[in-house]
Structure 1
Amino acid sequence: MTAARETDPRAGREPLVKMRGVRKHFGQLEVLKGINMDVYPGQVTCLLGPSGSGKSTLLRCINHLETIDGGRISVDGELVGYREKHSVLHEMNPREVARQRRSIGMVFQKFNLFPHKTALENIIEAPVGVAKRPRQEAIAEGHRLLRQVGLDKWADRYPSQLSGGQQQRIAIARALAMKPKLMLFDEPTSALDPELVGDVLSVMRDLAAGGMTMVVVTHEIGFARSAADEVVFMDGGVVVESGHPSRVIDDPQHERTRNFINSVL
């Protein structure tokens, strides 16, 4: 097993993502109960925890797919989804939110590829249609990204002609095509057959090694141990424990963390 990275991406830098007192309700259920968290440029943060602990909701709040009911989230110094005036938050209009999302890539459990478009067409859709990049430039970049995820020979295949693991790697390439400063992964391997998981995690490890800032919701303890700079264990809408993988995974201090780690190893 590869050891987690020894260099500390936090040294002498400001956080890329700041979360302060983040709260979220669904009806009477409080899903996030005042989350405080920083993610630094180049840092890989893995969120661990049982189902219903708030991990995926927190991830979706970072790019305003879910609105928050309290607190603040900022990415690269800019409040996400809101403008603040006289200490009151006012939600941005959809166009402003869409602009912010261009710099935040997200990969979901389901691949969400356009079924009527080829792999390459899926990748260049946003750069051409949203970012207004020249089509030939986007195509060249699309082929580079396909090579990066090991699928350049599959550029003309449709999603139905690809395995789940291949589709997820195309989804990662599609997110990278917008040149994001931050990548969010919501259990990207949970819908895959076990034999397909390794190729997707390999692509993610390469991204981590290349310095991409990543927040990853995962149950893949091996990935968290080898690729993460920080592991955050959540339960019941709170951060129970956080720190270096060697501490949180291999020497957890809280009983809830120990019980969870033992259940998934």
Structure 2
Amino acid sequence: MTETLVRASNVRKSYGHVEVLKGVSLTVKPGEVMCLLGPSGSGKSTFLRCINHLERINGGRIEVGGDLVGYARRHGKIFEMNPREVSRQRRGIGMVFQRFNLFPHMTALENIMAAPVGVKKVERSAAKARAYELLERVGLSHVAGHYPAQLSGGQQQRVAIARALAMDPELLLFDEPTSALDPELVGDVLDVMRQLAADGMTMIVVTHEIGFARSVADTVVFMDGGVVVEAGSPAEVLDNPQNPRTVAFLNSVM
């Protein structure tokens, strides 16, 4: 596939006088898995949040499926979308957060049903059937009636992945999905993500899991100081890095 699903062009983001993103440009093809690596504070998570307009960019542009994210062209000018338009646009972009963000008063099944019923107006019976299918897909059909407090962190994260899939996104964003988990729970979450990759889901993953990046990513991007330092295949970036900053980072985590 040669078409581009995600195109970021010279993206800049500042908080006050602190410039967090300093001109990031990346492209992601449909079905591609891109892993973003880098030290804390390098801008990885901020960039990810910009892709679905959870953060407003200060310069450049981001397009998903050929459409500007968070903005629209009208009469030859670019305007920021209103919240309702942004919400509608986000339907095609799923996001899995570090801290799960499940509704504590809803069961696993209800968490997965919530957005299809509330946002897409899917019939409850159809949403329920789909939620059961997704729980089965992530290996959790036996906890459909459990509340988040009754689940382990790894189970909560897998429910969060199922919830994101319930909206049938064309793109899934993962913001350090295993960093809040105990080590023995990481494997189950990564296995679900590996299967999603094998199924052809387009994914951008902020992670410190080097083994996952090596085995699953089509493209590995190393960021530091708000810029892309190095990008390429796992073999290029992880096994034969060219930039001293990449080398130093990998030596510290491997």
- The answer to whether 1:182 aligns with 2:171 is yes
Task: Tell me the equivalent position of 2:110.
Answer: 121
- Greater CA deviation, 140-149 or 83-92? 83-92
1:7-66: CA deviations, max 9, x gaps? xxxx4x211000001000000000001111000000000000000000000000000000
Task: Tell me the equivalent position of 2:27.
Answer: 38
SS for the counterpart of 1:191 is coil
- The answer to whether 1:93 aligns with 2:82 is yes
1:56-112: CA deviations, max 9, x gaps? 000000000000000010000100000134664311000000001000000000011
SS for the counterpart of 1:203 is helix
- The answer to whether 1:243 aligns with 2:213 is no
* Cα distance between partner residues in 1 of 2:126 and 2:144: 16
Matches within 5 A, 1:50-89: 50-85=39-74, 88-89=77-78
RMSD: 0.8
* Residue among 227, 231, 238 paired with 2:216: 227
Paired residue type of 1:223: F
* Cα distance between partner residues in 2 of 1:72 and 1:158: 40
Task: Tell me the equivalent position of 1:259.
Answer: 248
Paired residue type of 1:148: R
* Residue among 80, 95, 103 paired with 2:92: 103
List alignment gaps of at least 5 residues for structure 2: none
Task: Tell me the equivalent position of 1:6.
Answer: none
SS for the counterpart of 1:19 is strand
- Normalising to structure 1: TM-score of the pair? 0.95
CA, structure 1 residues 178+234, in 2 after alignment: closer, same or farther (shift >3 Å)? same
Task: Tell me the equivalent position of 2:134.
Answer: 145
* Cα distance between partner residues in 1 of 2:139 and 2:248: 37
* Cα distance between partner residues in 2 of 1:152 and 1:112: 20
SS for the counterpart of 1:133 is coil
| 1:230 CA drift (Å) | 0.1
SS for the counterpart of 2:164 is helix
* Cα distance between partner residues in 1 of 2:234 and 2:163: 29
SS for the counterpart of 1:190 is coil
* Cα distance between partner residues in 1 of 2:43 and 2:218: 21
* Residue among 22, 26, 38 paired with 2:15: 26
- Normalising to structure 2: TM-score of the pair? 0.99
Task: Tell me the equivalent position of 1:136.
Answer: 125
* Cα distance between partner residues in 2 of 1:29 and 1:15: 31
- The answer to whether 1:209 aligns with 2:209 is no
List alignment gaps of at least 5 residues for structure 1: 1-10
* Cα distance between partner residues in 1 of 2:100 and 2:53: 19
SS for the counterpart of 2:63 is strand
* Cα distance between partner residues in 1 of 2:136 and 2:118: 22
Identity of aligned residues (%): 70
